[in-house]
Structure 1
Amino acid sequence: MEHNASVEVQCVSKRYTDDPDVAPALDEVSVNIAHNEFFTLLGPSGCGKTTLLRTIAGFEHVSSGDILIGGQRVNDLPPFKRRVNTVFQSYALFPHMSVAENIAFGLEMQGLEKKAIPARVKEMLALVQMEHLARRKPAELSGGQQQRVALARALAPRPDVLLLDEPLSALDLKLRKEMQVELKRVQQQAGITFIFVTHDQEEALTLSDRIAVMSAGKILQIGGPSAIYERPAHQFVAQFIGDINFLPGKLARGPQNESVFQPTGLPVQIPCNPPQPLASANVQLAFRPERSQLVEPTQPHHLRGVIEAVLYVGTATLYQCRLSNDVKVMLRESNEGLNAVRAVGEPVAVHLPPQACLLMEA
């Protein structure tokens, strides 16, 4: 048991059928989440992230394994007896109640002393910066304001853990980004554990102290945002977090007996340092589009190719390049200064600095 753990998930599996040919929704998942941590469960639809959240909340029973909250095993406790609260995708505010009344309702159901409720409601309104809207009904609020009310209502009972199931998914992009900032501020100010579910990689990188990337009912990697992005431990993680290119090839030895990567079908060797021993000499070199450099094709020892597509995205230009071995890669150039945009059909070479290269088993 981890001393600083707020939530402990110990070898938890969840099956909806006894059919052995049907994969479990959760497959022996284990993770410890610290006090006051903003922890994100990230993955595609159907990966098990919401199922894991629901088992922590008590809305789903585990098939095997244990869940501990604050060191207490809660497998057999109903949701209302767990020191957690949940914010769902739908805000589920009572339309006939004001903002203040919506926040107060849960406190009344919890049995909080009546004279203490107004002060708690005022505290929550201040936390989400909505004191001036206390008398308004939900229909008079924007989507972002309704989300803040739902957040305040969930925090009002002072749970040990707040569970958030894709709470920003219904908002437009601009409002969603604004609410990301607000959500992080509220979590830091409230000082409690947030467990956040999303399929949005950028949202996870922006908000989280740590991220668990899930696929097919398993956690593939846990780490801070920079570790997940810069040092993915699994090909799925590398592909799911941001854009990335893969070059097939082999590990070899260079003239000075150093490790080099030999791309399949290309007459170049790229210096590399595998972070750990690889089981096979057949590997893939992965690199992010923004870590490569487009250079003139006359320069030696680079990947040569031709630009096939140009995408201008404001702060940068994306280039799809077909290398001479027919592998397509995406490259990103910042639109700083007066850089000329390259043209479709233009021959180029791609320089990969050693620190940009990540070797993975094929």
Structure 2
Amino acid sequence: MLEGFPSAIARIDAAGRMVWSNRRSGGVLGQSPTDVGHSGDRPLHDCYGLGERCPVCCALSSGRPCEEQVGDERDRLWHIKAIPLPDNSGVIRITTDVTEEHRLRLEHEQASRLAAVGELAAGIAHEINNPNGMIQMNLGLIADVWNDLQPLLDDAQSRQPDLSLAGLSAERLRMELPQVLEDMLHASFRIKGIVEDLKSFVRRQDEDRMEDIDLNQVYLTAARLLRNQIKKCQADYREHLMHGLPPVHGQFRHLEQVVINLVMNACQALEKPGASLAVSTWYDTEQKEVVLAVEDGGKGIAPQDLPRVTDPFFTTRRTQGGTGLGLSVSQRIVREHGGKLLFQSELGRGTRVELRLPAVETAEEERSDTADACVLTG
């Protein structure tokens, strides 16, 4: 019965020797059924790389169950539990692969954070909209007042040629005040646009419906949300968006999340001010795919790392707070949309990522349950 158990199970005697294991133990933590009867030349916990945290050693010495999680988030995570046998003849070690469980938990935490951000954004949007609406209304009133004041200003200047107000001559007032009012109104509408993006983001948290989507609009919405981050990375930032793209069928917020991840990764890869960062869209008529490409002139990806960039927890930025989930989640979203992510990179030269989605006329027949990330070769 234990041979069919999904976990790796082994019996360890009091001397630390493995006396039995099921087939699932093969390859787990560097041990296999061929290791039965051997404990190796090193202490058991050294074999696991656990030091004093080895649950088997703990259970053997304490007589109570012990457990520990081991492994590397970039590869596999294992939960090891050691249970002492009643006659003190050893322990039963149960080793379970918890990589997927860990990934799902982190994704849930990320989704919870997004939901919290959504609630915060809704409150902020309401608080900003009210005073901003007042600003827009009052700017219109000031513009009307200025138009009515100009004849009076002309009359006053005819009697006092050196007339000035707030340190500005009448000529400068005529030249600059209309532009100042226009700039203020433009800034106010920009605030309104940002607020609408925030409100839209919140709505999409609850409206993950499939619909025909303009990929250009997905990018432009993401770019507005990323405006400050893009400025911060001081890139030579360029956009080349094809007009009249065919729509793609999908969930706006999910695709927006993919684009945000791709652009943020590109920003974080830049090592010096003025490095290139370009976003482009086009329609591949041969493949009938709508394409969004993000290309950076950053540090690039090492050849041995390139095939792993969408693996859960794989990141080269762990010390800077990277979780290794951004591209993994993006890959899952793109796969659910019947698309693919293509990666091309040269160490020291930069990286290019293509998001490819089936155009709406072929989306239904080409959408499938599997679509793997591919690596383009130079």
The bucket for the TM-score relative to the shorter chain is under 0.3
Q: TM-score, normalised by structure 2?
A: 0.22
Normalising by structure 1, we get a TM-score of 0.22
